[in-house]
Amino acid sequence: MEAKKMKETRVVQTDQVLINDLNNYHTLFGGVLMKKMDACATLSARRHSRVKECVTASTDSVNFIEPIRQSDSVCIESFVSFTGKTSMEIFCKVTAEDLETGERRIATTAFLTFVPLDENKRPIEVPGIIPETKEEKYLFETGKERDKIRKLKREQNKDLVSHLVLDKPWD
């Protein structure tokens, strides 16, 4: 399976901020932005794996750095930044641009992990990834450490779930 360049997986989606997407602080709801990032990252994952179905395995390190206001456009850029055997880490960078002044700022960053599935809903192997730019190389070189942390968190979550009860809290 031939490795692909990161730029081949890049997806860029720009949108305006609508009034229905604002919270009571007049900034973009975090959940609305997360939905947009997941949709963009899904396209990057499918572009890399070339399968019909890719599922979100985890979303980690969602960092809301700057608020996004109604006067801004929101640009989400996603691409595969690291790969395992059957998983892909997708990096999302959100840039807000004040449409009146042209000022641009990094508003949010996030890492999402996707797994491509075959027709039997089983994980399949993914191609490797080739970084080219300084930004891509940095993300790729730091990917192994993030992958190790995700595996540790997955084990911790399994332990947590084993201690949870299914009783109805209102009974």
Is 11 inside a domain boundary?
A: yes
Q: Is 171 contained in some domain?
A: no
Domain limits for position 69: 4-162
Q: What is the pTM of this model?
A: 0.93
Report which residue type is found at 119: E
- Report the alpha-carbon distance of residue 93 to residue 129 in Å, rounded: 18
| Total domains, the chain | 1
- The answer to whether position 169 is within a domain reads no
Q: Strand 88-98 and strand 11-16: pairing?
A: unpaired
| Predicted local distance difference test score (pLDDT) of residue 105 | 98
The answer to whether position 41 is within a domain reads yes
In a domain, 170, yes or no: no
Q: Output the domain CATH number for residue 55.
A: 3.10.129.10
Q: Is residue 111 part of a domain?
A: yes
Average pLDDT over residues 83-110: 97
Taking each helix axis from N to C terminus, what angle separates 143-162 and 134-141, rounded to the nearest 10 degrees? Answer: 40
According to DSSP, the residues that pair with 90 across neighbouring strands are 80, 112
Residue 154: inside a domain: yes
pLDDT tens for residues 53-71?
A: 999 999 988 999 999 999 9
Evaluate whether residue 167 is within a structural domain: no
What pLDDT band is residue 85 in, cutting at 50, 70 and 90?
A: very high
pLDDT of residue 83: 97
